[in-house]
Amino acid sequence: SNSVRIAVLPGDGIGTEVTEATLAVLEPLAKRHGIGITTEVLPAGAFHYQATGEGFPESSFKAAEAADAILLGAMGWPGIRQVDGTEIAPQLDLRFRLNLYAGVRPVRAIPGVPVALAHPRARDIDLVLIRESTEGLFHSRGKGLVTEDHAEETLRITRKTTEKLSRFAFLLARRRAQTRRRKGRVTLVDKANVFRAFAFMRGVFDEVAKDFPEVDNAHHYVDAMALDLIRKPWDFDVLPTENMFGDILSDLGAGLVGGMGFSPSADIGDDHAVFQPAHGTAPDIAGQGIANPTATLLSAAMMLDWLAARGAGQGFADAASELENAVDAAFGAGLRTADIGGRDGTAAVAKAVAARIGG
Amino acid sequence: SNSVRIAVLPGDGIGTEVTEATLAVLEPLAKRHGIGITTEVLPAGAFHYQATGEGFPESSFKAAEAADAILLGAMGWPGIRQVDGTEIAPQLDLRFRLNLYAGVRPVRAIPGVPVALAHPRARDIDLVLIRESTEGLFHSRGKGLVTEDHAEETLRITRKTTEKLSRFAFLLARRRAQTRRRKGRVTLVDKANVFRAFAFMRGVFDEVAKDFPEVDNAHHYVDAMALDLIRKPWDFDVLPTENMFGDILSDLGAGLVGGMGFSPSADIGDDHAVFQPAHGTAPDIAGQGIANPTATLLSAAMMLDWLAARGAGQGFADAASELENAVDAAFGAGLRTADIGGRDGTAAVAKAVAARIGG
Ligand SMILES: CC(C)[C@H](C(=O)O)[C@@H](O)C(=O)O
Ligand SMILES: CC(C)[C@H](C(=O)O)[C@@H](O)C(=O)O
């Protein structure tokens, strides 16, 4: 089919602003490529919790589950907490309930956007972290034991999910290798020198690697990876890792290439996928119209690409690359958002990117 | 007393080389300051395990326990593993058995040593990570559950250790504030938005903070901290955190200021302390005489400072600052090790630093 239904969860704070800007770009893009995109905006998030006592209404979940893809803004608010002290995070519910095991977080230097590292090769950064997103330490979310004296959480790694995650990583590396000059390489990030669970994870990964002899594979300890993402991030390609490690390393990666405002993400399972900027709700700048919508625009491009791979049609693939290219071209031509010291607001970015579509 | 006994565990690979270089500098330093340092070199590590079946002989542990301080090189070797697949790591045994809860890892830009970030303020970096080193995820080390289908580890946080860790952090911040212009600030790094155990940790930290009204305090999520250590590391002062988080963030921090070769560490408890470079055994360059001993030299300076605070005498405090200043001066004057693209080997660094002592 060349028509899809997208569930949109704008969420809290700047989540609503960047989502609006992205929908404004998707409209002309869809027209130009002759693809049908209908959207349904659904309530969820911290303010919804405050107003109704429900952070993620079951009706919103059901509608999201029924859609072809889910586009999410950002959710959570520092002052609004559940009784156990944790925040409202429907995006985590989606990952668990829809079994979105592959958290895809590209780290790519965008033309014109300042990079953090002084090294001349910093502009060559182009890697993808795959954060496992249904187990690991997050298995324990909301289930931790707390007594007067101590507290415990359980990190859990399953063979099944590690197999899927590894396979996903190798398939992605193979696909990336086709569009790039270099040979694909998958590097598992673990802490197998200290923990049996990570030695187990490594063993499962190694088994899957045998099915992909044409892709290089390697292992790296998570602490060494934190160092090497500073020393030589341009050396890496596809990096699958445990949930908590991926949470930390993907923010590190975002810092290298302009910050969270430029960092898209996709949480992908066998049947569903959520696309959202890696950033949060940014209470300090919410409501001012200055939030950078680039991460959401790039997440939307990932969504179109994923829909194409699922059979929605070539128009979606074309729209995905045109959107990514339009973002690159706009920043390459001097667009500058507040987070990188410029004056272009949320709407201005949408306008500049839309102007390069079909141009 | 102005005489101390140091247990020295050189360990594996470059561990032995950097330790030798450091002892060579300690000798003239001790003479000049009229302080007595006797050393006892003890066997432990991966090669000792390979040769004897014991990674850390009980006799070495006992001798280390009886000493006034412990100086460690580096331990572990990729090919040498225990039956459960994990590496030999006597440094972890020491942390647990001697209850060395405060893993002090300074991140400071050394004059003349290239920094990773392009930002002009990158040379102002001067923070200290305090990695809790006896519990957290590492509570589970060697105890993880592994079945055919899955594996589990337990992250554990206790009130008692969190209180000690927090108190240690505030005392350090207060002491640092006295020697610097800025007000001290302690920022707890946690993941309290998702995990009850971290909400618990935060609660305990907040209680301790009340005893130190003169020191600022704050919280930061670990993922946001990974980002901010790239965006604005010069904004931070003292950063206590959970064991696994500290392992990752301290390597990230090392990457900002020249790498592991320039990153000292101390694992401190109520009665004992181990001082060691943050780097590993570096199999790729071991035996070539090109390892950078700076991290070990700076760790030795931390050791002298700690001994002074424990009552060993002012001579130790003076020796500590002279050693740190000598390192700074040597690099400031153009010393360049292989890890930063230079040609000065291990012995050359020792010689250059020793030459600035008493000069
Ligand atoms: C907001 C938070 C619950 C979430 C997470 O930890 O997964 C965020 O940090 C992310 O990376 O998507
Ligand atoms: C070698 C390894 C066991 C150790 C750790 O994880 O603590 C090291 O990474 C460190 O930081 O001291």
Question: Following DSSP, what letter does each residue of A69-133 receive, concatenated?
Answer: EEEEEE---TT-B-TTSPBP-HHHHHHHHTT--EEEEEEEPPTTSPPSB-SGGGGG-EEEEEEE-
Last residue of a domain, one of B205, B231, B257: B257
Show which of A239, A257, A275 is a domain's final residue: A257
Residue A347 lies in a domain: yes
At residue A179, the pLDDT reads: 80
- Are B292 and B335 members of one domain? yes
Ligand 2 nearest-atom number relative to CA B76: 1
Q: Which pLDDT belongs to residue B81? A: 84
Across the range A166-179, mean pLDDT stands at: 94
Cα-to-chain-centroid distance, residue A192 = 26
| Tokens, residue A226 | 């934190």
Same domain? For A351 and A268 the reply is yes
Instruction: State in Å: Cα A247 to ligand 1 middle.
Output: 7
CA–CA separation, A272 and A172 (whole Å)? 17
**Gap from B128 CA to chain A (nearest CA, Å):** 17
Check which CATH number belongs to the domain holding A5 and give it. 3.40.718.10
Residues A80 and A176 placed together within one structural domain of the fold: no
Tell me if B193 CB under 6 Å of ligand 1: yes
Q: Is residue A108 part of a domain?
A: no
Interhelix angle A314-332/A14-33, nearest 10 degrees: 120
**Domain closes at, from A257, A290, A319:** A257
Same domain, B180 and B303: no
Probe ligand 1: pick from B191, B193, B225, B245, max atoms within 8 Å of CB?
Answer: B193
Of A14, A91, A129, which is best to mutate to test ligand 1, by the most ligand atoms within 8 angstroms of its C-beta? Answer: A91
Tell me: pLDDT of A312 over 90.
yes
Overall number of domains in chain B:
2
The arithmetic mean of pLDDT across residues A55-79, rounded, is 96
Q: Are residues B147 and B191 in the same domain?
A: yes
Both A219 and A272 in one domain: the answer is: no
Of A118, A248, A259, the CB nearest to B222: A248
Q: Ligand 2: which of B91, B101, B132, B245 to mutate, most ligand atoms within 8 Å of CB? A: B91
Query: Shortest CA distance to B304 belongs to which of B61, B64, B71, B109?
Result: B71
User: Does A5 lie at the interface with B, CB-CB under 8 angstroms?
Assistant: no
Q: pLDDT under 70 in chain B at which residues?
A: 1, 359
- What span, in angstroms and rounded, lies between the C-alpha atoms of A53 and A51? 6
- pLDDT category of residue A300 using cuts at 50, 70 and 90: very high
User: Which of A156, A159, A244 best tests the B interface by mutation, with the highest count of B CBs <10 A?
Assistant: A244
Residues B85 and B186 in one domain: no
Alpha helices in A138-221 (DSSP H): 159-179, 196-209
Q: Is A260 on the interface with B (CB under 8 A)?
A: yes
- Residue nearest atom 12 of ligand 1, based on CA coordinates: A278
Give the pLDDT of residue B88.
83
pLDDT of B103-146, one tens digit each? 999 999 999 999 999 999 999 999 999 999 999 999 999 899 99
Residue A41 falls within a domain, yes or no?
yes
On whether both B239 and B226 belong to a single domain, the answer is yes
Closest listed ligand to the CA of B129: 2
What span, in angstroms and rounded, lies between the C-alpha atoms of B161 and B215?
20
CA nearest to A196, candidates B123, B87, B236: B87
| Inside any domain, residue A188 | yes
Residue A1 pLDDT > 60: no
Average pLDDT of span A282-302: 97
- A277 and A190 in a single domain? The answer is no
More confident residue, B244 or A182: B244
Note the pLDDT of residue A350. 98
Its pTM stands at 0.95
Q: What pLDDT sits at residue B303?
A: 98
CA angle A22, A256, B180 (to 5 degrees): 125
Q: Which residue of A has its CA nearest to B161?
A: A150
Query: In the prediction, which pLDDT does B84 show?
Result: 74
Yes or no, beta carbons of A85 and B192 under 8 Å apart: yes
Q: Does one domain contain both B136 and B100?
A: no
Q: What is the mean pLDDT of residues A224-236?
A: 97
Both A27 and A92 in a single domain? yes
- A262: confidence class by pLDDT, cuts 50, 70, 90: very high
Domain that holds residue B81: 1-108+262-359
Residue B59 confidence (pLDDT):
97
d(CA B203, CA B194): 14
Cβ of A13 closer than 6 Å to ligand 1, yes or no, is no
Closest C-alpha residue for ligand 2 atom 12: B278
Ligand 1 touching residue A247 (CB < 6 A) = yes
Question: Could you read off the pLDDT of B9-55 as tens digits, one per residue?
Answer: 999 999 999 999 999 999 999 999 999 999 999 999 999 999 999 99
Overall residue count recorded for chain B in this entry = 359
Same domain, B13 and B98: yes
